[in-house]
Amino acid sequence: MTDLEYDILDELYFVNPFRSLIEELDMAEQVLKPLLWQLLQKGWIKCMSPKGDETITDLSNFEQEYKNYHYLATKSGLLAHNRKD
């Protein structure tokens, strides 16, 4: 796990919208977006609906919709995050 992945997971113990992640991490959108995609591919985070109440399972629109999603660490993501400490 990279330091940036660790920092992102640190913010995702609770559901967080994309805009909040940018602000909290003080990270550029073009840096955060691919990192979120990598974490999704690893199964360490999941996308939630804009209201944060439903998991998005079809990520075919990620390129267009990533700003509208909320994000949350998965159990495996939390375990990976805690192992790095």
- Token digits of residue 36: 């979120």
Task: Write the pLDDT tens digit of every residue in 20-35.
Answer: 999 999 999 999 999 9
pLDDT of residue 53: 83
pLDDT of residue 50: 85
Task: Write the pLDDT tens digit of every residue in 38-85.
Answer: 999 999 999 999 887 899 999 999 999 999 999 999 999 999 998 875
With a cut of 90, say whether residue 16 has pLDDT above it.
yes
Q: To which residue do tokens 């700003």 refer?
A: 67
pLDDT of residue 51: 80
- At a CB cut-off of 8 Å and minimum separation 6, what does 51 contact? 70
pTM of the model: 0.91
Q: SS3 for 8?
A: helix
Which domains can be identified in the chain, with CATH numbers?
A: 3-84 (1.10.10.10)
6 within 8 A of 81, measured Cβ to Cβ: yes
